Amino acid sequence: MKTSFFSGRIILVLVMAFFLSEKAFSYGEWDLIDANSGVSVFERWVYVNKDLTVRERKGEFSVPGTLSSVVKIVSDVSLSKQWMEHVSDAYLVSRLSEKVWYTYTYFSLPWPFANRDMVAMWMLGYSSDNKTATIEIRSRENMIPEKKGIKRLGNYSATWIITDKGSNNIGVSFSTISYTSPEFPRVIQDPVLRSTFMQNMKNLQRLLFK
């Protein structure tokens, strides 16, 4: 019980620290940049500080099913290899509870991008009416040792919002952002990221339709 208590306190402090720091950010309006096969992709600018402004991306679509079935699939990191482009390995590192766990993901990226990996904490919560599930994902760079020659992805966060709209209709929203400067000029990097993000959303949509 003592270990569980202190683990819970640590998680609470981490989550509060993130959201308190996030309040200082300035957010632009969401702009629709692509819509295809029932998937809509949006972008907005996020002002982090005077030296850094980054893009946040969001994908939205609807699928038939139940809230629990969709949550089960998107929260299973091992399934990300079936819908995320360039993911060659992904697994559960440890589980603190049914609502908090850690994962590892390895990205085999095409040239000129360097291969990289990510360790992340996932936090699952439900609305009071149990109609909406939210999963917050936050990178945890130092949880496990870095691998030689592999760049560790850090300062990353993502959010799943999964909503039961009734009549066997589930709304899925996934947003992602990295609070670091682009590795390459935006004119080179952004078209690749946009195309990959849209393809990921379409892949996931097809997986959820099965």
Number of domains in the chain: 1
* Each residue's pLDDT tens digit, 66-112: 999 999 999 999 999 999 999 999 999 999 999 999 999 999 987 77
pLDDT of residue 68: 96
Of 187, 189, 140, 181, whose CA–CA distance to 49 is shortest?
181
Does residue 140 register a pLDDT over 90?
yes
Residue 10, CA distances (Å) to 7, 96, 113, 114, 182 in order? 5, 12, 35, 33, 31
- 139 located within any domain: yes
Domain containing residue 79: CATH number? 3.30.530.20
* Each residue's pLDDT tens digit, 11-41: 444 554 444 444 467 888 999 999 999 999 9
- Mean pLDDT score of the chain, rounded to an integer? 87
- 11 located within any domain: no
Residues spanned by the domain of 97:
27-209
* Each residue's pLDDT tens digit, 51-61: 888 999 999 99
- 15 located within any domain: no
Does residue 44 register a pLDDT over 70?
yes
Better pLDDT: 33 or 188: 33
pLDDT of residue 210: 74
- 91 located within any domain: yes
* Each residue's pLDDT tens digit, 103-121: 999 999 877 778 899 999 9
- Lowest-pLDDT choice from 49-63, 144-158, 172-186: 172-186
